[in-house]
Structure 1
């Protein structure tokens, strides 16, 4: 750990309930720091932090900051997420009173300086890929830690802690290298993965060319004695000083062969420069997840993990919450929940669902995330959502944004090509599902649609029981 972080007695998180922020908070808590934080709403993540002894307030009033934090700027480090609004009361208090304030990404950069960092970047796939890397290393007995962007099903957490050691430089640290707000430029990994460089976060970048330039800068920061594993076809390799190897479904130094679906599970052979791992049977579905598994396997094989261990780890990997997560799978219904919030992600998700269940009827419930993203990719959303047979479209989840004139769910609905489509309010959804015959149901989105998952699960499961 960087010595500069040991100077702080108190660590205060603004936006502590975010998936990345909560992992960082757990690390500080596990290492004996005095912690507290703010978040907007009570969520399962916030509840879990409180159960671990971390004080969390849902009120941004200055008085809710613990006194020891509020009155000792020289002893208190403030860590925030860029998703916090500019006019946030506590943030303005900290700024006005000269507290040390750092972004989560800056702190993560400090923490990883003395570790052998594996940075997983990409506009899509980084959460699953980074958790796959962490799981393979943990399965193989490699001393490692991981800061993840999702709750792993295998471990029930977004933070994996390494075994104590006096030789931190021997510990591998798996981190998501997040392109949002160019946060990944605080990282200087030994090993890098780039899964995708599609246009996204155009409210930050403006144009796709700026996104690509940021990724080129990131891969240029990978240690020249290290290695970059890049999905085949990406146009960023010339910016890397490190060795570059490629991967993909059907092309690259690491690639899949013999992809097939057997009993609703994907099976494939992994071909790599030194051999082949045959008959990998994935517990998590999706063509995109095969690609993620190939990237994670490439890192593990590079680090000397045996092929048999790689296969066993992949087959025991249960996935990440809200990434192609099965909620109901019985004779009457299949219900899957997914975090997809970009047209490419929705296309990959629905294509995989259709591949697993050919000819079956899919009801998709989608909540758009951000007005700017809806505006920038409206045509793509229309095309990808048209892969469903029925669409129930919710209002746009604003997150940190104010409404944009003319950018509405009604505008987006007009671009969807299927006939069975409608706008729905949140409180209508359960009644609609009760009144209409359903086969496969999927919920899609990155906003607060996750609060509907348990009610929908209970409804569909009870309908099977009652039948």
Structure 2
């Protein structure tokens, strides 16, 4: 691909597409795009932000694709039958997938830093961005979530940074196997668990990824990641763990409802007490991963830790929407067993019933994760908690509905937990609002649907109106 050619993003509002479009646009590449959500009038603020940057937006009807000189980049959710894709074939425009384009930019960087793992990728990427920016390294960052530290009036959806430094920091996705396209100088492996692929495939993909790097920062507190770490040369790997011996270790964790403190040990020696502004033991592990990258690039640990303590988190990662009538509403990206479990553990460290609205991110993932998802809910739901599943998010196209939300609820209820299926999302939200009492916490959970954040705000407003 000629990097000077105009690029047209089909699905430009997607969490993996929007930051990539912003990076190219900031580098002077002509960028335009379309999106189903734009046509449906969903999340208009996001598309206004793209227009404000000078990015042209079109209906997803083929009208934006007019020349063979354009490069058409499509998200994974876009079928070949979509009019934009039909038009691209008709005019002879070059086509690329999102990971093909991102990996090319990544591999061309002087210092490509890839963040991998089933969970925590976006948070670790955001933490690394915070560190590098704070010490003047001016990184380019590709994140799948909005980084609160970088949100401003002219950057309300700050999921990308475009810097002049040598570092290109990006989360790297294993779900479609595209992790094999990336050649990192520094690789992070946070954890490995069943999500989109079999464990055998994941072990191979993640193992090959970290072994290609000059330096691998690996969480040996995770059993699968620890096994992969043993296949990496000792000189090449830097290990981290919570409450376990490693190059970087966190001990004596003290959680707060929206933060956590811990003692940091480097090579077995106590260095300092660290206080994060994001909660949960999983975020302690995320911080150790980011610190490992900083040390691998000769950033002094003290300066890296100062930056981490100022990390304010990501949108939709245990984001406190607000409180009304003694009821807190939290918006969270949790959508696979590990992510949801981490959020539930963080909440259960403090008293109060949990009312959970979970919108699965597709029928395919439900089929793959069914057993693990049910086992996790059976283990992690406390007495008195209520789990409500609405139907999975559906963005169009042909999908197999072998396993539904009703199937998951039936399995979870059979374990004795309080779970119910309310197909319509608005009805599910209304049920939880009506059920909530002072001291409760409502969790809105799910991925691949930005309107969940709007739903969480609406639920809070409904609670406030009745208080």
Could you say whether these structures have the same fold, taking a TM-score greater than 0.5 normalized by the shorter chain as the test?
Answer: yes
Contact 2:215 2:296 in 1 (8 A): no
In structure 1, the residue matched to 2:114 is: 119
CA distance in structure 2 between the aligned counterparts of 1:373 and 1:266, rounded to whole angstroms: 31
Q: Deviations over 1:100-128 (max 9, x none)?
A: 21122222222231321111011111010
CA distance in structure 2 between the aligned counterparts of 1:261 and 1:197, rounded to whole angstroms: 24
In structure 1, the residue matched to 2:155 is: none
5 Å matches for 1:106-185?
106-112=100-106, 113-156=108-151, 157-163=158-164, 171-185=166-180
In structure 1, the residue matched to 2:335 is: 341
How many residues matched?
Answer: 438
1:459 to partner: Cα distance: 2.2
5 Å matches for 1:264-279?
265-273=259-267, 275-279=269-273
In structure 1, the residue matched to 2:61 is: 61
Match of 2:20 among 17, 24, 27: 24
Contact 2:240 2:247 in 1 (8 A): yes
In structure 1, the residue matched to 2:298 is: 304
Contact 2:120 2:190 in 1 (8 A): yes
Q: Deviations over 1:84-103 (max 9, x none)?
A: 12322211321343322112
In structure 2, the residue matched to 1:396 is: 392
5 Å matches for 1:10-409?
10-42=6-38, 43=43, 44-57=45-58, 59-62=59-62, 64-65=63-64, 69-70=65-66, 72-73=67-68, 75-112=69-106, 113-156=108-151, 157-163=158-164, 171-202=166-197, 207-222=198-213, 226-232=214-220, 233=223, 234=225, 235-237=227-229, 240=232, 243-251=236-244, 252-262=246-256, 265-273=259-267, 275-329=269-323, 332-355=326-349, 357-358=350-351, 360-386=352-378, 387-388=380-381, 389-399=385-395, 402-409=398-405
1:184 to partner: Cα distance: 2.0
CA 1:130–1:264: 2 relative to 1, 3 Å: closer
Q: Deviations over 1:339-374 (max 9, x none)?
A: 11111111111011101x13x111111111221211
In structure 1, the residue matched to 2:154 is: none
1:262 to partner: Cα distance: 4.6
Using the size of structure 2 for normalisation, the TM-score is 0.88
In structure 1, the residue matched to 2:409 is: 413
CA distance in structure 1 between the aligned counterparts of 2:461 and 2:86, rounded to whole angstroms: 43
- RMSD of aligned residue pairs (Cα, Å): 2.2
CA distance in structure 1 between the aligned counterparts of 2:337 and 2:109, rounded to whole angstroms: 38
In structure 1, the residue matched to 2:455 is: 452
CA distance in structure 2 between the aligned counterparts of 1:256 and 1:228, rounded to whole angstroms: 19
Unaligned residue ranges in structure 1 (runs of 5+): 164-169
3-state SS in 2 of match to 1:154: helix
CA distance in structure 2 between the aligned counterparts of 1:229 and 1:280, rounded to whole angstroms: 20
Bigger drift between 286-295 and 275-284 goes to 275-284
CA distance in structure 1 between the aligned counterparts of 2:426 and 2:31, rounded to whole angstroms: 37
Using the size of structure 1 for normalisation, the TM-score is 0.88
Contact 1:247 1:295 in 2 (8 A): yes
CA distance in structure 2 between the aligned counterparts of 1:193 and 1:401, rounded to whole angstroms: 34
CA distance in structure 1 between the aligned counterparts of 2:82 and 2:231, rounded to whole angstroms: 38
Unaligned residue ranges in structure 2 (runs of 5+): 152-157
1:281 to partner: Cα distance: 1.0
CA 1:452–1:263: 2 relative to 1, 3 Å: closer
Contact 2:189 2:217 in 1 (8 A): yes
CA 1:263–1:98: 2 relative to 1, 3 Å: closer
Contact 1:22 1:45 in 2 (8 A): no
1:330 to partner: Cα distance: 6.1
CA 1:429–1:283: 2 relative to 1, 3 Å: same
1:393 to partner: Cα distance: 1.4
In structure 2, the residue matched to 1:166 is: none
In structure 2, the residue matched to 1:167 is: none
3-state SS in 2 of match to 1:20: coil
CA distance in structure 2 between the aligned counterparts of 1:413 and 1:375, rounded to whole angstroms: 13
1:5 to partner: Cα distance: 3.4
Contact 1:368 1:447 in 2 (8 A): no
